Structures are given as C-alpha cells and as structure tokens.
C-alpha cells in the first residue's frame, strides 16, 4: 500500500519535466504535494503531515493565480524527447541510489528514502534544464520536498515543519512577484 505514494511521486516528478503547459504543471505539483504528505505521514502523525499538504495547496494556489495573471506561456528549455530521455536516465540513477539508505538516516522506511532520492534528483534536473521563474520554482519545490521527506524523520518538530512550509509559500510569492510586479525578462528560450 505504501508503494502507491512512491509511484505517485515518481510519476509526478517525471511529468513535471515533460509537461510544458503551466496550468498542467501546477496541477501535477498539487498531486506531488499530496503524495509527499502521504509519505511524510509514515513518519509523523497524519495531522502534522497535513501541514505539508496545506502549505502545498497554498503554494499551488499562489502559482495558479500568478500563471493566470501573467499570461505566461510555456518554457520548453530543450526538446521534449531530450527531456524525456534525461528524466528516464536520472530517474534510473535515483532508483539505483535510493535502494540503499545512503543518507544513513535511522528508522527511515525504504519507500521514503527512495521517494526522497527521486524528488531530489528530479528537482536538480529541472534546475539544470529550465530558467524561467516558474520552472525554477517548481524545480526548487521538488528538490525541497525530497529533502523534507527525509528530514521529517530526523526532525519532527512542528516549528521546523512550519518554517520549511513557509519556504514553499515564500518561493511561490517571490515567483509571483517576479511575474506580476517586475517586468518579465526576454529569455532566449522564448520563455515567459
């Protein structure tokens, strides 16, 4: 049963690299947040893990409003086939690394360490591939979500959970500011 959120995490992380339409990306990100909260609930009480889900939904809401207000188009960065191949390779490497508890975190479940590794690897891939604020923000959120799945096991304090959640919302606010208040930059990829 617990492998279901792991499969969801892998599918959403892969889809975020491939999908180009900002609206779809945010919907996929919301699904990723739900699966991350599910995985976090394996280590924390569900009501505490729900903090991640609530913060994630607020983040997605801010990003959705930003996309709606900024008339942003998609950023492909590179060809879809290239991104798909890169995502498959990185995912394969992440699955290989995530099979062992490479962070040496005590009492962490295998599916949690696997999900953390996949999200961190795919987040890094997104940061390498994309340059527009929205895509960089989604890449950072993916990277952070992976880290937080593992970190929640070793530091379950509510204060830290809340501070980390505030970072997700802060990132969304900064991207929103850059898209709506500052003038968008003309990126060579024909981005936003």
Partner 1 sequence: MSALALVFTLLAVLAVLTLAFRRRTYLPFAIASGASAIIGLFILAAPLDEAISLLGFPLRLDSTWELLGRPLSLDPQNRAGVGFLFLVGALFFSLGWAAAPGRSFVPAGLIALGLLAGALTIQPFLFAAIFLELAAMACVLILIPPGSRSESGVLNLLVLYTMAMMAILFTGWLLENVGVTSVTPELARRVILLLGLGFAILLFVPPFHYWLPSIVEKVNPYSLAFVAIILQSSGMFFLLRFLDNFAWMRADPLISSAIQAAGILMIVFGTIVAVAQVSFLKIAVYALVADIGVSLLAISSGLESGSEIAIGLSSVRVVGLVLWGLGAAIMSKSGYSTGAGRAAPLATAAALLGVLSLAGQPLTAGFPWRWTLLEQLSATTNTGAILVVISMFAMLWVVLRWTRVLYGAGPTETEFEPRADGRVAVALMAGACLILGIFPQLAYPWVSLATAGLANLSP
The distance of closest approach from Cβ of residue 125 to partner 1 in the complex, given in angstroms and rounded to an integer, is 13
For 70, the token pair is 């900024």
| Among positions 2, 61, 131, 156, the unique one binding partner 1 when judged by CB under 8 A | 131
Query: Does residue 127 touch partner 1 according to CB under 8 A?
Result: yes
Query: Does residue 94 touch partner 1 according to CB under 8 A?
Result: no
| Among positions 132, 142, 145, 176, the unique one binding partner 1 when judged by CB under 8 A | 132
CB–CB of 59/33 below 8 Å?
Answer: yes
Q: How many of the other CB atoms lie within 10 Å of CB of 12?
A: 25
Nearer to partner 1, 11 or 58 (CB): 58
The distance of closest approach from Cβ of residue 41 to partner 1 in the complex, given in angstroms and rounded to an integer, is 20
Binding to partner 1, residues 50-79 (CB under 8 A): none
- The rounded distance, in Å, linking the Cα atoms of 129 and 126 is 5
CB–CB of 32/145 below 8 Å?
Answer: yes
| Among positions 4, 54, 84, 163, the unique one binding partner 1 when judged by CB under 8 A | 163
- Count interface residues toward partner 1 (CB under 8 A): 35
51-78 burial, b at 16+ Cβ within 10 Å, e below that, comes to bbbebbebbbebbbebbeebebebbbbe
């Amino acid at each position: 049963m617990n492998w279901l959120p792991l499969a969801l995490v892998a599918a959403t992380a892969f889809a975020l690299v491939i999908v180009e339409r900002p609206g779809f990306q945010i919907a996929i990100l919301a699904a990723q947040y739900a699966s991350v909260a599910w995985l976090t609930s394996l280590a924390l009480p569900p009501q505490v893990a729900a903090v991640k889900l609530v913060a994630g939904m607020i983040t997605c809401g801010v990003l959705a409003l930003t996309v709606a207000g900024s008339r942003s188009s998609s950023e492909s960065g590179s060809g879809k086939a290239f991104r798909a191949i890169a995502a498959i390779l990185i995912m394969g490497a992440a699955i290989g690394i995530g099979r062992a508890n490479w962070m040496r975190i005590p009492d962490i479940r295998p599916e949690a360490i696997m999900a953390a590794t996949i999200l961190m690897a795919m987040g890094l891939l997104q940061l390498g591939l994309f340059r527009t604020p929205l895509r960089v923000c989604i890449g950072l959120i993916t990277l952070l979500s992976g880290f937080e799945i593992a970190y929640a096991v070793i530091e379950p304090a509510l204060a830290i959970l809340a501070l980390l959640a505030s970072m997700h919302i802060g990132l969304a606010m900064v991207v929103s500011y850059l898209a709506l208040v500052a003038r968008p930059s003309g990126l060579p990829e024909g981005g936003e």
